Amino acid sequence: MIGLAGETRPIMRAYSIASANYEEHMEFYSIIVPDGALTSKLQKIKVGDEVLVGSKPTGTLVIDDLTAGKNLYLLGTGTGLAPYLSLTKDPDIYQQFDKIILFHGVRHTSELGYYQWFNEELARDEFLGEMVSKQLIYYPSTTRDDFKNQGRITDLLRSGKIESDIGLPPICKADDRFMLCGSPAMLADCRKMFDEMGFEPSAKAGVKGDYVFERSFVD
């Protein structure tokens, strides 16, 4: 939880941490909601202003709650990209899976946050660069602008377009695992699709499944 002091009580919201677990700073990824109770004020903070940060992080996007597999699909829409900024900088994820496929879906190309970072900068990381170059596949997509990849995540996966574009076999229960972070509608659509395909969700923390999803999301 992060927030700001209010007139009567703090204004707090849940955000995913975007920085890696070994970094000495904390990074968050947010959009500006013009009339948002918190973001309308966050956008005006200056260096030296005080931001409130909760002392107990929680979440359900946990690698340990996934059964073993070959390929890990990180599926995010909008600011649902945030936790994957952290995960793609974690060496452990590259040791557990052969390929990491990061899907980021947005309406407009202007909303593809960290586009250059994923396309260029991450592969030059002193420690992770080699693993990133060999194992990470970044797949951004839009739904309203002309772009090299277009379409909703469920349509792209059902049709097999993503797998075909990146040179992997059609998704299957034996090899593929998924993490989901996005709007409630995106989560509902993806969960319905995976359930129909026979993938098992992680029902709760500590219980392994074929996919996990974040239950707290700031739209």
- pLDDT-derived band of residue 218, with 50, 70 and 90 as boundaries? very low
User: Any idea which residue has 């034996």 for tokens?
Assistant: 174
- pLDDT-derived band of residue 217, with 50, 70 and 90 as boundaries? low
d(CA 7, CA 38): 13
Report if residue 51 sits inside a domain: no
The predicted-structure confidence for 109-132, as pLDDT tens digits, reads as follows: 999 999 999 999 999 999 999 999
Report if residue 81 sits inside a domain: yes
Mean residue pLDDT of the chain comes to 94
Torsion of CA 152, 153, 154, 158, to 10 degrees: 110
- pLDDT-derived band of residue 219, with 50, 70 and 90 as boundaries? very low
User: Residue 105 sits in which domain range?
Assistant: 63-213
Report if residue 47 sits inside a domain: no
Quick one: pLDDT at residue 82? 95
Quick one: pLDDT at residue 81? 96
Distances 177 to 199, 204, 213 between C-alpha atoms, Å: 9, 16, 11
User: Per-residue pLDDT averaged across 140-165, rounded?
Assistant: 96
Q: What's the total number of domains in the chain?
A: 1
Q: At 194, which CATH number?
A: 3.40.50.80
The predicted-structure confidence for 157-214, as pLDDT tens digits, reads as follows: 999 999 999 999 999 999 999 999 998 999 999 999 999 999 999 988 889 999 999 8
Show the CA angle centred on residue 112, arms to residues 180 and 25, nearest 5°.
75
Report if residue 40 sits inside a domain: no
Quick one: pLDDT at residue 215? 76
Report if residue 98 sits inside a domain: yes
Quick one: pLDDT at residue 118? 97
